[in-house]
Structure 1
Amino acid sequence: MTDNVNHPAHYETGKFECIEVMLETQGVEAVLNFCQCNAFKYLYRAKRKNGLEDMKKAVWYLNKYIELKEGHNYDETTVGEMAGSQTE
């Protein structure tokens, strides 16, 4: 069953999801900003496009923002170290 909110197939390539690659290449601050803007976008259009699904997507981006801010999976040091280790 396709999960268009938590794991949309169009954002997966191989074993990585787009948001993970964004963290690796753009850094935590950029992804935090992206999550905040995307949550706003989904809330803004929900009544005119996908309704409940867009509301769930907004929640997903807000939860990802909180997760990153609280450092559950990534912190700026870890992401910086990962990016630096690939260039050495």
Structure 2
Amino acid sequence: MNEAIVDDLIERPAHYTQHPSGIECIDITEHMSFCLGNVIKYVWRAGLKGDAREDLKKARWYLDREISRLGG
């Protein structure tokens, strides 16, 4: 596989850059806790790699974990 293609798949996969704002999700989530960052990531990219419902269920799982972490 061409090295440039491999780099694109690792550093800038298409689903990372498809948001209409042009902003990459990591630019926002790197300022959050791990769980909250994952909530945003799964909502941000819901459906871009597969089943949107699955992505939203993953987001909910991380949100529930963050709520538990905070003692709720």
Give 1:7's aligned residue: none
> Cα distance, 1:48 vs. partner?
1.2
SS in 1 for 2:47: coil
Runs of 5+ unmatched residues, structure 1:
1-31, 72-88
Alignment of 1:4-83 (within 5 A): 33-50=33-50, 51-70=52-71
Structural RMSD (CA) = 1.7
| 1:29 corresponding residue in structure 2 | none
Question: TM-score w.r.t. structure 2 length?
Answer: 0.50
Q: Secondary structure at the match of 1:61?
A: helix
Q: Which has the higher contact order (CA 8 A, sep 6+)?
A: 1
Aligned-residue offset at 1:57? 0.2
Please, which runs of 5 or more residues in structure 2 have no aligned partner?
A: 1-31
1:62, distance to aligned residue in structure 2 (A): 0.2
> Letter of the aligned partner of 1:66 in structure 2?
I
Task: Give the share of equivalent positions with the same residue, in percent.
Answer: 45
With structure 1 as the length reference, what TM-score do the two structures score? 0.42
**Structure 1 runs (4+) greater than 6 angstroms displaced:** none
Give aligned pairs, total: 40
